[in-house]
Chains A and B, each alone.
Chain A
Amino acid sequence: MHIHTALKRPTPHPSKTNPTQSARAPRHLLRQAAPIIGIGLFLFIWQAVVWLRLYPEFIIPSPAAVASRFVDVLLDGRLWLHTSTTALQIILGFALGATLAISVGYVVAKSLVFEAIVSPIFIAIQSTPVVAYAPLLVIWFGSGAASKVITSALIVFFPLLLNTVVGVRSVPNDQRDVMRLLNASRWQIFWQLEVPAALPILLGGLKVSATLAVIGAVVGEFVSAKAGLGYLIERADYDFDTPLVFVAIVMLALLARVMYGAVAWVERRVLRWRVK
């Protein structure tokens, strides 16, 4: 018997009951509209703060001032330049950090000796705030994109490493035993048991790491950069251009949301087989 038929992935069950159309529709619409309502509420509170003059406008500019500045930098090309620079660093840092974390995490999960050797080093790196060693990375790897990619990768690495270890070790031992009884090869155990079992936890970790990658890239740009949203924030700060600072922050939030959303989309596709 082939291993894959012995341990077939369960097919999704159809819903046991179908709520009536009329009961489901309003909740569905509300769920769809919730993000827009949330953003609208946030903008209203922001504008109220400006109307009430709780802070000088050079501390909290109005949404209109920020929107106007957004249009300025969109039209003069700076928004695309800085956003694309940071986005590339985020993607590369995320890819590098995730690849290393999953690879090393698998070995750590399988070898207690290896775990004992590397854990103290990784814990020390993770315990040190990235802002502390970001300047060193500039000295070692230069002021170009490399230092930002590495900063981003470092901040992604440890949480995802832990997720990988937990995920791989979460495989039920009885299922391993069944695979072995059926003379499954190591590759078959890895691909048809460990990967599917670890994926839910791993993808959850990837969603978190995707947003951490944004933080890492920006920290690197704060230390040393010629372009990027972190650089734009620092430059706008020193030029006392508070609306531009807000524009850059909004773009960073959007980048983080896109990264999170991309991993969530992959998660939905890959884990379709899971029982809801």
Chain B
Amino acid sequence: MLRRIALIILLVAITISVHGQDKQPITFFLTFVPNIQFAPIYVAIEKGYFAEAGIELTLEHGDEPDGVNLIAAGERQFGMISGEQVIAARANGRPVVSVYEWFQKYPIGIVVADDSGIESPADLRGRTVGIPGAFGASYTGLIALLTANELTEADIQLESIGFNAPQVFCLGGVEAAVVYVNNEPTQIERLAQRGECGAVRGVRVFNVSDYADMVSNGIITNEDTIADDPELVARFIIGFHNGVTLALNNPAEAYLMSLPYVDSLPRDPALMAALQAEADLDYDQGIGEYEEPGEGRAAVLERLRVAVPDVDWVQMEILIDTAQLWDALTPGSSDLESWQTTQDILVSMGIVSAPIDLENAFTNAFQPIG
């Protein structure tokens, strides 16, 4: 089976431009709302990577469980779902499989004010901690972080605050908040810089990924699609992977490619001109100059801030912080150990009553070659 899939991937990679004429309509389920964090997808559409792969892509947003149910029922072929959801779904009879781990680091963390006296996660004992709700990646990440620091949920005062962490945190409603490390901390810092975050002047973030290697957001499909149309899975991943690669290597162009999809992105003319100038740089003149791509992306942001200092670059900052979560030597692949760590957490939380066979929950067979 694996050899067959590898051969399919090779054939798809060689002949993909020939097949670009016949496009298969596919709806890609995404969570949250249109956002700069989905830049690789927008890049892949705008640059024609999906079209070259013979796919005419439509995007759809909704709640994660709805996406899982649609994919499990065969109503959709692909979705962007967090890894722990795959385990919980399979444990409850839904035949979904992760085929590309997009986020290589778990994106959840806990933000605190830097003068709160909370120097480590262990100091969260007795403190109020806000969370969107006791479900999903936020809750799983929180429990993983607490467990790694020999704490339990009973040791903190957990407050359900919806998706309002920056506002509630700045109003002093909670002393800490469970957040996506690439998003809310940046927003809170921006509010603090403007003096709109109460007594908060700076923040500190405890990343779950520093304490537990868990599987995170990735592309999932269903068992029937893998069995009946592995070529489609391979083509889809190639298109997406190319989008991720470009977004990692040219975040300025990724921002520009995202504009038609994310209404809230700033479009100041000076900002646009600065982004285009960065986007036009050769890789070797930009990110490629740096040993660590992360340093190169940070340098891009710094140049943009210098070029246009009067613009709020928070969305670009979110994109670059998010890119850090995707970056890896082998983007898209995941390992059994991280799946096992995630399942252990879910079993301890009672979300999964008994361990499942994790070998069937994911596959690296569709990883792009090269």
Bound CA span A143–B165, Å: 12
A56 at the interface (CB under 8 A from B): yes
> From residue 117 to 169 of chain B, which have CB atoms closer than 8 A to chain A?
130, 132-136, 158-164, 167-168
A-chain residues with CB within 8 Å of residue B92 when the two chains form the complex: 58, 239-242
Provided the pairs A58-B93, A231-B133 are in contact, do residues A238 and B162 lie with their beta carbons within 8 angstroms? Answer: no
A169 at the interface (CB under 8 A from B): no
Min CB–CB distance A238 → chain B (angstroms): 4
0/1 string, A44-55, CB within 8 A of B gives 1: 000000000001
B-binding segment of A34-42, A100-108, A157-165, A222-230: A222-230
Interface centre among A58, A142, A226 (most CB of B within 10 A): A58
B324 at the interface (CB under 8 A from A): no
Bound CA span A139–B173, Å: 8
A234 at the interface (CB under 8 A from B): yes
- Flag if B134 contacts A139 (CB, 8 Å): no
A135 at the interface (CB under 8 A from B): yes
A-chain residues with CB within 8 Å of residue B45 when the two chains form the complex: none
> Main SS of chain A's interface residues?
loop
A-chain residues with CB within 8 Å of residue B158 when the two chains form the complex: 226
- Flag if B351 contacts A55 (CB, 8 Å): no
B89 at the interface (CB under 8 A from A): yes
A59 at the interface (CB under 8 A from B): yes
Provided the pairs A58-B92, A58-B93, A224-B133 are in contact, do residues A239 and B159 lie with their beta carbons within 8 angstroms? Answer: no
- Flag if A139 contacts B164 (CB, 8 Å): yes
A237 at the interface (CB under 8 A from B): yes
- Flag if A138 contacts B161 (CB, 8 Å): yes
A-chain residues with CB within 8 Å of residue B199 when the two chains form the complex: none
Min CB–CB distance B351 → chain A (angstroms): 5
Provided the pairs A58-B93, A139-B164 are in contact, do residues A237 and B65 lie with their beta carbons within 8 angstroms? Answer: yes
Provided the pairs A56-B72, A58-B92, A224-B162 are in contact, do residues A235 and B135 lie with their beta carbons within 8 angstroms? Answer: yes
A-chain residues with CB within 8 Å of residue B161 when the two chains form the complex: 138, 143, 224
Provided the pairs A58-B69, A58-B92, A238-B64 are in contact, do residues A139 and B167 lie with their beta carbons within 8 angstroms? Answer: yes
Q: Which of A55, A139, A224, A240 contacts B65 (CB 8 A)?
A: A240
B63 at the interface (CB under 8 A from A): yes
B323 at the interface (CB under 8 A from A): no
- Flag if B162 contacts A223 (CB, 8 Å): yes
Q: Chain A: which residue is nearest B174 at the CB level? A: A143
A177 at the interface (CB under 8 A from B): no
> From residue 78 to 137 of chain A, which have CB atoms closer than 8 A to chain B?
135
Q: Chain A: which residue is nearest B90 at the CB level? A: A240
Q: Chain B: which residue is nearest A245 at the CB level? A: B65
B181 at the interface (CB under 8 A from A): no
Q: Chain A: which residue is nearest B140 at the CB level? A: A238
- Flag if B351 contacts A143 (CB, 8 Å): no
Provided the pairs A58-B93, A58-B94 are in contact, do residues A135 and B173 lie with their beta carbons within 8 angstroms? Answer: no
- Flag if B68 contacts A240 (CB, 8 Å): yes
Interface size on A, residues (CB 8 A): 23
Bound CA span A139–B171, Å: 8
Provided the pairs A58-B92, A135-B163, A223-B162 are in contact, do residues A142 and B173 lie with their beta carbons within 8 angstroms? Answer: yes
B26 at the interface (CB under 8 A from A): no
Q: Chain A: which residue is nearest B91 at the CB level? A: A240
- Flag if A138 contacts B93 (CB, 8 Å): no
- Flag if B72 contacts A139 (CB, 8 Å): no
A-chain residues with CB within 8 Å of residue B173 when the two chains form the complex: 139, 142-143
Q: Which of B89, B94, B162 contacts A143 (CB 8 A)?
A: B162
Q: Chain B: which residue is nearest A56 at the CB level? A: B73
> From residue 88 to 102 of chain B, which have CB atoms closer than 8 A to chain A?
88-89, 91-94
- Flag if A143 contacts B68 (CB, 8 Å): no
Min CB–CB distance A134 → chain B (angstroms): 8
A-chain residues with CB within 8 Å of residue B94 when the two chains form the complex: 58, 240
Bound CA span A139–B163, Å: 10
A-chain residues with CB within 8 Å of residue B162 when the two chains form the complex: 135, 138, 143, 223-224
A-chain residues with CB within 8 Å of residue B168 when the two chains form the complex: 138-139, 143
- Flag if B160 contacts A226 (CB, 8 Å): yes
Q: Which of A138, A231, A238 contacts B164 (CB 8 A)?
A: A138
Q: Can you give 17 A-B contacts (C-beta < 8 A)?
A: A56-B72, A58-B73, A135-B163, A138-B162, A138-B164, A143-B160, A143-B168, A224-B133, A224-B161, A224-B164, A225-B133, A225-B160, A231-B133, A235-B135, A240-B89, A240-B91, A242-B92
Identify the 8 closest CB pairs spanning chains A and B, nearest first: A238-B135, A240-B92, A224-B162, A224-B160, A237-B65, A223-B162, A58-B93, A143-B160
**Other A-B pairs beyond A143-B168, A240-B92, 12, CB < 8 Å:** A58-B73, A59-B69, A59-B73, A142-B173, A143-B130, A143-B159, A223-B162, A224-B133, A225-B160, A231-B160, A240-B91, A241-B92
